Amino acid sequence: MKTLRLILGDQLNENHSWFSSVDDQILYCIFEMRQETDYVQHHIQKVIGFFAAMRAFGERLKDKGHRVHYFKINDAKNHQNLEKNIKLLIEQNNIGHFEYQAPDEYRLDEQMRTICSAIKISYKCHDSEHFLTTRGELSSFFEGKKQLLMERFYRYMRKKHHILMVGEQPEGGIWNYDHNNRKKWKGSPEIPIYKAFKNETKTICDDIVKSKIKTIGHFKGPFFEYPINLKQAQHQLSYFCKNLLPYFGDYQDALHSDEVYLFHSRLSFAMNLKIISPKEVIYAVLNEYKKNKEAVTIAQVEGFIRQVIGWREYMRGMYWKEMPVYKGLNELENHEKIPDFFWTGKTKMNCLEKTIKNSLDHAYAHHIQRLMITGNYLLLTQTHPDDVDDWYLGIYIDALQWVQLPNTRGMSQYADGGKIATKPYVSSGSYINKMSNYCSSCQYNVKERLGPNACPFNSLYWNFLDDKKQKLAKNQRMRMMYSVLNKFSSEEVHKIKLRASEIMSNPENY
C-alpha cells in the first residue's frame, strides 16, 4: 500500500525513525504555504530561514534515497493550504494510507484532525521524537497541585534524566545557580565573533518577492547565517561549547548596546525546527563540562541546562495543558494598542531602540531583552496581549506558538493571572540600568521619576502598580513594592499618573 507522510516546516529531524530505512512505497511531502506565511506577519529572515531549512531537508532526504514531493511557494500546483495539498497528492499518487507527526501548534493539531476525518483513508499520528517529555507529562506531574512552579518540574527533569546529579542529590549541592547568572557585562571577558554560515538566499528571496509575502524586519544578505541543517547545527553547538559556554551562565541576563548575542548559543532556531535535538545539545554541554571543569564551572552549565530541560520543556507542557483557553486570557484587562515604534525602532528610549532595532535587523533578542525591555514596556503600558503575541510570534526567528505564547502571555505579560509567573515581571529603569549600559547613553535620566528628562519606565512602573492594585496588592511577592508606593504622597502619585498617561497616549513622542 502506498503511504504519504507529511513533514511540517518545524519537523526537520533527520534522525527520526521514519528515515531509518528507504521504502519506495512511501512518499514524503513538504509544503511551503501562504497558510503558514500569512497567519501572522513574520520577519523576512524567519521566512527565509524556514524555506532554506525545509529545502535543505528535502534535498537531504532525496540524497538518502527517499521519495519526496516538495511544493515551493510559487509552484503552480501548490494550493497554499495544507488540506488541499494533501488531498491533491493522495489523489495523484493513489495513496492508501496517510501518516504525520504530531504538530506542536494547537491550530495545526486541530487542522490535522479535520484533515484526517476528511481524507477517507487510513491514517496514523506519530511522535516527533524530539522533546524529552510527552505532551501530557507536565499536566500529570502537577495533577492536584495548586502551584505549577517551573523549579519543581525542572528538578523532576534533572532526576528523571540523571543530569548534573550525584545519586538523588544535585551536583554541587544546590539545584539552581540563578544567583550566579546575573552579572553585568562591561566589555570583559572578550566575546568571540559569532559563528555565521553562508547559506545562499537569492532564489528564496526572489520567490518571496514573487509571491508577494508581506514581512517585517530587514535582511541585508546575501547569506542566511543561522544553521539550516544538522551538520551546521552541530558545528554551532561545538563552537558554543568551546568558546561561549565558559561565560554563558554568568552573563546570560546581561544586556549591552554594542552586542547582539553576547555569550548565547544561537541554537534556538535549529532546535525549534527540530534540526538538532535537545538531548544532543545537553550532552554536548555536559561533555564539555566534564572535560574542562577548570574553564567551565557548574554555574555556567546549570544555567544553560535549566533553559533547555527546564524552561523549554516546561513551556511546551504548559501550552498543551492550558490550550485553547490560554490564548484568550487577559487577567489584567489590558487593552492598549502596541506602539508603532515596535515596527520601526524609532524611539528616544535607548534600551527599547537598541532591542527593537536588533530584533528588526537580526530577528533575534535574548530572553532578558524580550522579558525586561520590550515585554516590560508593553506590560507597563498595558498593551493588549493579542498585540503582544502577534509581535513576538512574528518578529523572532525561533518563535513558534508553543514556546512563544506561554512565554509572552504568561511569563512576560501575566495575562494568565499567575499560572506561569508568580508575579508580574515589571521594573522601573533601575533594573535596566543594573543589567546594561543602555542608560548611560540615553537622553533620559534613569534616576528621575518625574519631569521631562525622567526615564519613562519609572512613572510607567509606579502607575502600573497603582492601576492594578486591586489585582496585585495581595500577591506576597509584590507587597514590598506596594509598601513603597503607599508611602508616596497623593500629590506625587497624581503627578506620576499624569506623566504615565501622557507617555501611554503619545508613545511616539518618547
**DSSP-assigned states of every residue in 58-85:** HHHHHHTT-EEEEE-TT-TT--SSHHHH
357 and 500 inside one domain:
yes
For residue 15, what are the contacts with CB-CB under 8 A and spacing of at least 6?
Answer: 129, 230, 277
Q: Are residues 223 and 275 in the same domain?
A: yes
Per-residue model confidence (pLDDT) at position 336: 97
Residues 24, 26, 27, CA angle at the centre, nearest 5°?
105
What is the chain's mean pLDDT, rounded?
Answer: 96
The pLDDT assigned to 114 comes to 97
pLDDT the model gives residue 310: 95
Residues 305 and 449 in one domain: no
- pLDDT number for residue 181: 84
pLDDT at 182: 85
Please name every residue paired with 101 in a beta bridge, in sequence order, or none if there are none. 126
Is 323 within the bounds of a domain?
Answer: no
Q: Are residues 158 and 227 in the same domain?
A: yes
Statement to judge: residues 347 and 241 lie in one domain: no
C-alpha cell read off for 360: 528588526
pLDDT for residue 222? 94
Q: Nearest to residue 416, comparing CAs of 345, 297, 323, 293?
A: 323
Pair 360, 484 in one domain: yes
What does the pLDDT look like over 414-456, one tens digit per residue? 999 999 999 999 999 999 999 999 999 999 999 999 999 999 9
Contact 356, 345 (CB under 8 A): yes
User: In this structure, are 235 and 370 located in the same domain?
Assistant: no
Please report the pLDDT score of residue 461 as a whole number: 97
74 located within any domain: yes
- Look at residue 19 in the predicted model and tell me its pLDDT: 98
Residues 109 and 172 in one domain: no
- Does 420 fall in a domain? yes
Query: What is the DSSP secondary-structure string of 128-176?
Result: -S--SS-TTHHHHHTTT-S---HHHHHHHHHHHHT-SEETTEETTS-S-
Do 289 and 186 belong together in one domain?
yes
pLDDT value, residue 341 = 97
So what's the pLDDT on residue 486?
Answer: 94
Q: Which domain holds residue 180?
A: 137-310
Note whether residue 330 is domain-resident: no
Give the separation between CA 74 and CA 87, rounded to whole angstroms: 18
Domain contains 11: yes
Is residue 334 included in any domain, yes or no? no
Query: pLDDT below 50 — which residues of the chain?
Result: none
Structural domains of the chain, count = 3
Judge if the upstream peptide bond of residue 385 is cis by omega within 30 degrees of 0: no
- Is residue 318 included in any domain, yes or no? no
pLDDT of the residue at 146: 86
pLDDT of residue 192: 92
Check whether the bond before 324 is cis (ω within 30° of 0): yes
Is residue 81 one of the residues assigned to a domain? yes
Q: Nearest 5°: CA angle at 376, between 372 and 377? A: 125
- CATH number of the CATH domain containing 37: 3.40.50.620
pLDDT of residue 167: 93
Q: How far does the chain reach from its first CA to its final CA, in angstroms?
A: 65
pLDDT at 347: 97
Q: What pLDDT, on a 0 to 100 scale, did the predictor assign at position 107?
A: 97
